[in-house]
Amino acid sequence: MSAVETHRAIEAVWRIESARLIAGLARLVRDVGVAEELAQDALVAALERWPETGVPGNPGAWLMATAKHRAIDTLRRRTRLEQKQEELGRAAVELERTTPDFAAAADDDIGDDLLRLIFTACHPVLSREARVALTLRLLGGLTTDEIARAFLVPEPTVAQRIVRAKRALGEARVPFEVPSGNERTERLSSVLEVVYLIFNEGYSATAGDDWMRPSLCDEAQRLGRILAGLTPQDPEVHGLVALMEIQASRSRARVNAAGEPILLLDQNRSRWDHLLIRRGLAALARAEQLGGARGPYALQAAIAACHARARTANDTDWARIAALYDALSQIAGSPVVELNRAVAVSMAYGPAAGLEIADALSADGALQGYYLLPVVRGDLLERLGRMSEARAQFEEAASLTRNSRERDVLLKRAAACALRE
């Protein structure tokens, strides 16, 4: 194997094994920041040795064994400094007792370790941006540069978020554990929110030149599947997985050859990924079997399922979608949900009915500066034949969006309305 091939293999192994490696180490050293440093040290050792010795048969076990030896040294130094000989004895015995085999090294706790890591990375003591960055770093295995490029922010900004996040977890003495009771429910909501934020940024990029960032969608789906495996009895986890799988199924049909966005009703449905649709519908069925049909993610997945089941755009059951949005607004109401409800109502009962809802949102001011509000109002006004007003809405939306692809589409729609005034 050439040096280039070896480095590619190391990158692949790191992407696959890093989350489990860091999770297992964090259980042993009780510090996420130290665990990541130990894992990185093991990666450096692999980069130094594997080009000469070749990739081992069980690379995950090799990385774990290397990191554990370094963990022993770290604990010994820490113990000497703190003069805690009793702690040293217990920690050293525990670390030496476990075998270097990766699966055995985790002592069948790999699922618990990953779950602890997810709950730690998404702790509410951190800001939303910090939770996203730390989750992608620790669980997605993305580099700081990759995260920065994905969210179009400077690399030093992401680096600072990650450093501050780890420091905040240490200063707050956040335990490396899965909380119980109400705290677990609250923390799980934070975890699901972070995963869905990552997915949404990949599905509809808020800025830049690309309409989508598929790598972020892939990472979010992978994290969702991990969560579903670790918490199989939680309906909302399955609801989120269902929502992401069904939405991701449209990816290939959402842009044309030039990378320009294609609206849902104009998409070629033969290009939808039917394997992802089947997986999404199965996850939705699981959420419903567990009694979670009225959960916010399950309801959104049910809306997505209505589109997935329609063979053509004209077959879409818009009345059911509007009813599902009514239910969603009751349990997780927000101005954005209400805006989506306006679209559904307009398709089910006519543009005037939808415009009434959108106008109320505009008067309320809660979505001021949110570019999709004038997009929706422009679309409804255009369908009502009020071209001058529609043109102004599309121009306003174009001035608000930070995505260049979307800006171009909106300006074209404004120009088309101008020709019909």
CATH of the domain spanning 122-176: 1.10.10.10
Model pLDDT for residues 182-202, shown as the tens digit of each residue: 777 778 888 888 888 888 877
pLDDT band for 406, please (50, 70, 90 cuts): confident
Mean per-residue pLDDT, 13-39: 82
Mean per-residue pLDDT, 28-35: 82
158-175 burial, b at 16+ Cβ within 10 Å, e below that, comes to: bbebbeebbebbeeeebe
Q: Is the pLDDT of residue 395 over 90?
A: yes
pLDDT band for 281, please (50, 70, 90 cuts): very high
Q: Is the pLDDT of residue 110 over 50?
A: no
Model pLDDT for residues 153-167, shown as the tens digit of each residue: 788 999 999 999 999
Mean per-residue pLDDT, 340-359: 96
Comparing CA positions, the residue from 75, 72, 64 lying closest to residue 16 is: 64
For residue 211, the model assigns a pLDDT of 47
For residue 212, what are the CA distances in angstroms to 230, 234, 374, 396? Answer: 29, 29, 21, 22
Q: 0.85 cut: is pTM over it?
A: no
Q: What is the DSSP track for 156-190?
A: HHHHHHHHHHHHHHHHTT--SS---HHHHHHHHHH
Q: Is the pLDDT of residue 260 over 80?
A: no
HEC profile for 361-405? HHHHCCCCCCCHHHHHHHHHHHHCCCHHHHHHHHHHHHHHCEEHH
For residue 89, the model assigns a pLDDT of 54
Q: Is the pLDDT of residue 332 over 60?
A: yes
CA atoms within 13 A on the CB side of 82: 11
Mean per-residue pLDDT, 226-255: 92
Per DSSP, 333 falls in state -
pLDDT band for 205, please (50, 70, 90 cuts): low
Lowest mean pLDDT among 17-21, 191-195, 315-319: 17-21
Mean per-residue pLDDT, 48-59: 84
Q: Is the pLDDT of residue 107 over 50?
A: no
Residue 151 tokens, joined: 């969210």
Q: Among 179-183, 189-193, 210-214, 359-363, name the most confident range.
A: 359-363
For residue 82, the model assigns a pLDDT of 58
Across-strand partners of 37? none
Q: Among 89-93, 209-213, 329-333, name the most confident range.
A: 329-333
- What is the rounded distance in angstroms from the CA atom of residue 239 to the CA atom of residue 324? 14
For residue 198, the model assigns a pLDDT of 83
For residue 243, the model assigns a pLDDT of 97
